[in-house]
Structure 1
Amino acid sequence: MTDIVQVPAISPETKGRSLFQLAALRFRRNRAAMAGCVMLALIALFSFVGPFFSPHSYDQVFPSYVSIGPSLEPRPDTSTLQEVMESVAARARVTLEDFKVEGEAFTATVSSEEPIDPRATRYFDRANEFEHTKVVATEDDGRRLKLEGQVDREYFPFGTDSNGRDLLVRVMLGGQISIAVGLLASLVSLGIGVVYGATSGYVGGRVDNVMMRFVEILYSLPFVFLVVVLVVFFGRSFILIFLVIGAVEWLDMARIVRGQTLALKRREFVGAAQALGLTDWQIIRRHIIPNTIGPVIVFVTVVVPKVILLESFLSFLGLGVQAPLTSWGALISEGANNIQSAPWLLIFPAIFFVVTLFSLNFVGDGLRDALDPKDR
């Protein structure tokens, strides 16, 4: 009798996951971090894409709508059009005899003791409430004109500022400036700090001592004083702001990377690279810097909100971007000066500012937990 040999079924190979995939999986499971990412994406879309869908520009002034409150109703209110038309007629030096509004169209009759120049219709179009005004009939040898035109409806969901500019578009522009300064200044500090810290920590000895003493000297310089000096010499500009902030923020980055490098240069793979004859710069570029990416990424998420706060602080002091450009900090400064008469000037930019900072902090906490070696 022949024994039957049972061959065990071959199970399919289990596909492994890389450390990056495991970190990404842990990050996606963090609800607060994912909510922060969603909010940052929405704020970025609002700031950078929103102006393309707005009929107003950030520097467009509406003299008839100065410091009006937020509302979803169109402006102007029909009940105020009679008063506005009388004011425009007085500026044109004519007498308003009749005025009617039907839907979006209006008709008016004006008169004067002298023949009226038809170009007087320009006075009506200069007002924010009316547009496309034209003469449809001339009576009494030109001393009486019948006019027709359109009522120009405008929407200001966030209200307007003290100069009559749409606050919604101003908040969008402020988001562009603040987010751009935060990202660019963080990249500047990242590029300088990582290379400087890795070089100092790996070379060690007197070079490390001199480089760290230089960092401590820069730490002792007052940040605001440095900014004031640079603004006096070079003037206020967007490029100067992120260069100044980035040139100061790299100090923390350099010290963190140096500490990581001191621990890494005693590892076996660094000794193997030295035995293979790699130069110091090759070891720093290929082995030291890539192995500090985890802590660096987490620190960048902390630097970005810190840089936005610094830029807002400078704008609050009047050292930020120049008008008509603006940032969230400049808008908050303006709102703080008008908080009693126009509180919406402070509320709306402050909401976007706070939500952005909270979201960045949540994302930073999520990345820290995902990249923590103890959780692997």
Structure 2
Amino acid sequence: MTDAFSTKTTPAPNPGPGAGLPLPEPEAVSRSLGQLAWLRFRKNKAAMLGCLTLILVALFSFVGPHLISHSYDDVYRSYVETPPSIHPRPDEDTLRAAANTLAVRGRVALESFEVEDGRFTAVLTSPNPMDARLSRLFDRSDVFSGAELQAHEDEGRRMTLTGGVTQETFLMGTDSNGRDLMARIMLGGQISLAVGLLASLVSLAVGVLYGAVSGYMGGRVDNIMMRLVEILYSLPFVFLVVVLVVFFGRSFILIFLAIGAIEWLDMARIVRGQTLALKRREFVGAAEALGLTDWQIIRRHIIPNVIGPVIVFVTLVVPKVILLESFLSFLGLGVQAPLTSWGALISDGAANMRSAPWLLIYPSIFFVVTLFALNFIGDGLRDAFDPKDR
């Protein structure tokens, strides 16, 4: 018997040879500035949505032309300013009306007309015997092809013709020249995005190098380089483009050079301001004490430390360049037909806004969506590289 207040104890386990030693602490994972910025950028839903939207627009513009049957310069004279539709055009009623018109022209009657799987079957009747060459009337039409005599009955007073039907599908309609608007928008996206990216890369390369050299060298060199920037700032941009168009004509390369030659000025001033603050830091003094040349310090220490603000600024330059290109195309100074851009398409749509509003709506949608996506990406990068600046 045990007492009611007694407790049952169990022997303690035998401690092992490592008992009493402290547990190993988990190894700290170090992340670079770029990794931390990427983690913050991924948490920004608007920026990620902007990236997804920009990828879809780029796929639509560069991959889409390989997936459709229409080219940007194909002209369909029977489909001038055709409204958007998911159904093939012309529809069966329009085809029947075209066949009836051909029958009247041949002085016969259209008894029946059917369309199935891209082929038509027309039954013609007449009180007098009909000539088998009547099928040539259908071959001369824009919507019928390969008409053949299937049956010649009732001593030639009843004729059955079969042949192919030329139908086209225009998801976004056609323009005033009968060209597929969706194919034109894809081409316009290629040119607008290419001009935006290439001109931004030019401003990035020239502006970063120019601003870093000006800010680091300082003194008289800085004064001369900045006075040159101010002189270029004073030149009217549109007047400069007009002069270039007069001498060299309109071309894609001209727009790229004109915009790239102006946009690097802002980049140079931003990089110069960052460089003025960086060259007083301790690591720059240490590099000078180690005997590095000015170019080595600029290349190894100054430029890598201004990449964060530069990347953010580039994402804001791209939509600005696209706007400039669209503005030039709107004024008629952009790309030359049959090439086009979103700005040129918007200009044509504004001229036909009442008769064909889809010519203005669809290019404007792609243009606005792309600008919003780029601005969201720029805001996300700004918050990612400088989370305190909110």
Say if 1:4 and 1:285 are closer, same or farther in 2 by CA, change over 3 A. closer
For residue 239 of structure 1, the aligned residue among 253, 267, 282 is 253
For residue 274 of structure 2, the aligned residue among 251, 260, 265 is 260
Structure 1 contact 68–161 (Cα < 8 Å) conserved: yes
1:181-230 CA deviation, whole Å, 9 max, x = no partner?
10001001111111111111111111111111111111111100100111
TM-score normalised to structure 1 length: 0.90
1:306-327 CA deviation, whole Å, 9 max, x = no partner?
0000000000001111111111
Q: Counterpart of 1:324? A: 338
Say if 1:9 and 1:355 are closer, same or farther in 2 by CA, change over 3 A. same
Q: Over the residues paired in the alignment, what is the CA RMSD in angstroms?
A: 2.8
Structure 2 contact 54–374 (Cα < 8 Å) conserved: yes
In structure 2, distance between residues paired with 1:263 and 1:207: 17
Q: Counterpart of 1:158? A: 172
Worse overlay, 210-219 or 71-80: 71-80
Structure 1 contact 33–366 (Cα < 8 Å) conserved: yes
- The DSSP-based 3-state class of the residue aligned with 1:156 is coil
In structure 1, distance between residues paired with 2:339 and 2:47: 32
Say if 1:341 and 1:121 are closer, same or farther in 2 by CA, change over 3 A. closer
TM-score normalised to structure 2 length: 0.87
Q: Counterpart of 1:60? A: 74
> Which letter maps to 1:241?
I
In structure 2, distance between residues paired with 1:88 and 1:187: 59
Q: Counterpart of 1:103? A: 116
Residue correspondence of structure 1 range 134-153 to structure 2 within 5 A: 134-136=148-150, 147-153=161-167
For residue 296 of structure 1, the aligned residue among 303, 310, 318 is 310
Worse overlay, 99-108 or 267-276: 99-108
For residue 299 of structure 2, the aligned residue among 282, 285, 288 is 285
In structure 1, distance between residues paired with 2:107 and 2:205: 69
Structure 2 contact 170–180 (Cα < 8 Å) conserved: yes
Structure 1 contact 335–344 (Cα < 8 Å) conserved: yes
Residue correspondence of structure 1 range 151-230 to structure 2 within 5 A: 151-230=165-244
- The DSSP-based 3-state class of the residue aligned with 1:131 is strand
Structure 1 contact 27–367 (Cα < 8 Å) conserved: yes
In structure 2, distance between residues paired with 1:80 and 1:261: 69
Q: Counterpart of 1:25? A: 39
Say if 1:358 and 1:96 are closer, same or farther in 2 by CA, change over 3 A. farther
Q: Counterpart of 1:272? A: 286
Higher-Rg structure is: 2
Q: Counterpart of 2:9? A: none
Say if 1:246 and 1:89 are closer, same or farther in 2 by CA, change over 3 A. farther
Structure 1 contact 115–143 (Cα < 8 Å) conserved: no
**What 5-or-longer segments of structure 1 have no aligned partner?**
none
CA shift at 1:18, angstroms? 1.7
Q: Counterpart of 2:59? A: 45
For residue 9 of structure 1, the aligned residue among 8, 23, 29 is 23
In structure 2, distance between residues paired with 1:207 and 1:345: 52
CA shift at 1:341, angstroms? 1.1
Report sequence identity in percent.
70
> Which letter maps to 2:185?
V
Q: Counterpart of 1:371? A: 385
CA shift at 1:86, angstroms? 4.8
Say if 1:4 and 1:63 are closer, same or farther in 2 by CA, change over 3 A. closer
Say if 1:73 and 1:119 are closer, same or farther in 2 by CA, change over 3 A. closer
> Which letter maps to 1:329?
G
Worse overlay, 304-313 or 225-234: 225-234
In structure 1, distance between residues paired with 2:18 and 2:37: 48
Residue correspondence of structure 1 range 79-90 to structure 2 within 5 A: 79-86=93-100
CA shift at 1:10, angstroms? 1.2
Say if 1:96 and 1:217 are closer, same or farther in 2 by CA, change over 3 A. farther
Worse overlay, 53-62 or 100-109: 100-109
For residue 123 of structure 1, the aligned residue among 124, 137, 140 is 140
Structure 2 contact 92–115 (Cα < 8 Å) conserved: no
How many equivalent residue pairs? Answer: 370
Say if 1:100 and 1:373 are closer, same or farther in 2 by CA, change over 3 A. closer
> Which letter maps to 1:123?
R
CA shift at 1:54, angstroms? 0.8
Structure 2 contact 199–257 (Cα < 8 Å) conserved: yes
In structure 2, distance between residues paired with 1:194 and 1:253: 6
- The DSSP-based 3-state class of the residue aligned with 2:184 is helix
- The DSSP-based 3-state class of the residue aligned with 2:202 is helix
1:230-282 CA deviation, whole Å, 9 max, x = no partner?
11111111111111101110000000011111111111111111122211111
